């Protein structure tokens, strides 16, 4: 009998304890606002930004929805957006929230006038800032060279799905701020009016998927190298022909005959004048081969000579619009040698060619080829 009474008491204690737990659970929901069958924030999406996140959603045709609340940080932070229906049926809505850099979990609910709320929609979003931008790559420079009075930047090729382009910033010689936008297809960029040993600044721009703002990499600095020395002494120089040879070819490059290089018997002097200096230095020459000298670079037989940084030389005829040369001047295409400059002996080796113009009545496209060794006069 006593044992049966003890069992009955224990059963009563268990039942009362279970009732207390149920009351606690019910009280939790009694303290919260009731859930109604309101239209939810449908098609919820997030778009990252620089120090901000944008949320977009669609409210269905439910006329009871008057407000949307967005929670984050375990509901310690929130923002509300009043909803005003301006059209029947589904209607889009959005909000931009300023947030420190980081990844966030958002809970989105709709409310009606009575304070009843819809089912919760959950989504993650990301705010971008200095930490992420510091990880972005910068397009790199392959080579910086000087061409006449221009600095040429050669870029390394780069394929990146987020890359939009690169900003190159520098100050000109007059102190003007200059920014050039370089697209991915650009292989080189020319900088004008900038001096050697100045600094250029490179920043690459990125737009990752589902990000509404353009993000910037860290800025990289490049100090321009010193301008290389000219390969030929500066100024205006007299050079004398040490050796010369003249040959005639037809339009098919078939050798016809050796011709007399110098009919006067005396040395043939030329004048070379520096025009521009850099990795490629440009000079004008007042003679082509052994033909008569001219006193102005506008004369038709003046020749332009470009000395490359590796001491190779290219030549071309130099004339102004309106002049009728009757021929054009080129590097020789029938000579195995390449025109060049030897800085140790201060000697120029030239292999040049004159081609008669195509409309010449008797010898169109015939070639006159000169092979010359020119030395600087003391």
pLDDT digits (tens, 9 = 90+) for 298-311: 555 578 898 887 78
Contacts of 362 (CB under 8 A, 6+ apart): none
**DSSP letter, residue 180:** E
Query: Is 371's pLDDT higher than 50?
Result: yes
Query: Is 41's pLDDT higher than 80?
Result: yes
Give percent of the chain with pLDDT exceeding 70.
81
pLDDT at position 25 is 36
- Residue-wise pLDDT for 2-24, tens only, equals 545 544 545 554 444 544 543 44
Query: Is 372's pLDDT higher than 60?
Result: yes
Q: What's the mean pLDDT in 60-73?
A: 93
Distances (CA, A) of 289 to 262, 292, 300, 370: 9, 9, 13, 6
Contacts of 53 (CB under 8 A, 6+ apart): 46, 47, 96, 97, 99, 104, 106, 125, 126, 127
> Of 104, 130, 106, whose CA–CA distance to 50 is shortest?
130
Let me know: does 329 contact 317? Beta carbons within 8 Å: yes
What angle (nearest 5°) sits at the alpha carbon of residue 274, between those of residues 354 and 367? 5
pLDDT at position 29 is 35
12: its two tokens: 């009563």
Q: What is the pTM of this model?
A: 0.57
- Residue-wise pLDDT for 343-357, tens only, equals 888 889 999 998 988
pLDDT at position 324 is 52
237 pLDDT tier (thresholds 50, 70, 90): confident
162 pLDDT tier (thresholds 50, 70, 90): very high
pLDDT at position 22 is 39
30 pLDDT tier (thresholds 50, 70, 90): very low
Strand partners, 220: 202
Q: What are the strands, taking DSSP E only, across 207-299?
A: 215-216, 220-223, 236-249, 255-259, 269-276, 281-285
pLDDT at position 134 is 94
- Residue-wise pLDDT for 73-123, tens only, equals 999 999 999 998 888 889 999 999 999 999 999 999 999 998 899 999 999
CA-only gyration radius of the chain, Å: 41
- Residue-wise pLDDT for 135-161, tens only, equals 999 999 998 887 756 788 999 988 888
Residue with structure tokens 């990880």? 135
Mean pLDDT of all residues belonging to the chain: 83
Least confident of 44-48, 156-160, 333-337: 156-160
């Amino acid at each position: 009998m006593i044992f049966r009474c003890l069992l009955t008491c224990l059963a009563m204690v268990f039942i009362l304890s279970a009732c207390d737990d149920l009351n606690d659970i019910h009280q939790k929901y009694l303290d919260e606002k009731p859930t109604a069958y309101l239209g939810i924030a449908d098609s919820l999406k997030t778009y990252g930004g620089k120090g901000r996140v944008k949320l977009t959603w669609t409210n269905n045709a439910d006329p009871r929805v008057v407000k949307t609340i967005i929670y984050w940080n375990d509901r310690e932070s929130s923002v509300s957006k009043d909803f005003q229906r301006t059209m029947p049926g589904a209607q889009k809505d959005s909000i931009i929230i300023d947030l420190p850099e980081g990844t966030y979990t958002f809970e989105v609910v709709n409310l009606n006038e009575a304070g009843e709320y819809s089912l919760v929609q959950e989504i993650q979003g990301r705010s971008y800032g200095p930490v992420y931008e510091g990880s972005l790559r910068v397009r790199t420079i392959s080579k910086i060279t000087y061409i006449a009075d221009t600095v040429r930047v050669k870029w390394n090729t780069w394929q990146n799905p987020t890359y939009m382009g690169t900003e190159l910033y520098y100050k000109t010689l007059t102190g003007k701020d200059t920014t050039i936008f370089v697209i991915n297809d650009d292989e080189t960029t020319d900088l004008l009016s900038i001096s050697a040993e100045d600094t250029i600044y490179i920043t690459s721009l990125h737009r990752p998927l589902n990000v509404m703002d353009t993000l910037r990499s860290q800025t990289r600095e490049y100090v321009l190298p010193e301008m290389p020395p000219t390969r030929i002494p500066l100024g205006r120089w007299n050079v004398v022909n040490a050796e010369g040879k003249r040959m005639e070819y037809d339009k098919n490059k078939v050798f016809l005959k050796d011709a007399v290089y110098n009919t006067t018997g005396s040395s043939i002097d030329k004048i070379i004048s520096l025009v521009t200096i850099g990795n490629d230095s440009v000079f004008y020459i007042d003679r082509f081969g052994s033909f008569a000298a001219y006193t102005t670079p506008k004369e038709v037989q003046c020749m332009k000579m470009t000395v490359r940084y590796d001491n190779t030389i290219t030549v071309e005829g130099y004339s102004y619009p309106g002049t009728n040369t009757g021929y054009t001047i080129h590097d020789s295409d029938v000579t195995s040698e390449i025109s060049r400059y030897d800085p140790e002996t201060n000697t120029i080796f030239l292999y040049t060619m004159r081609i008669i113009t195509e409309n010449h009545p008797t010898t169109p496209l015939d070639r006159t080829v000169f092979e010359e060794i020119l030395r600087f006069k003391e």
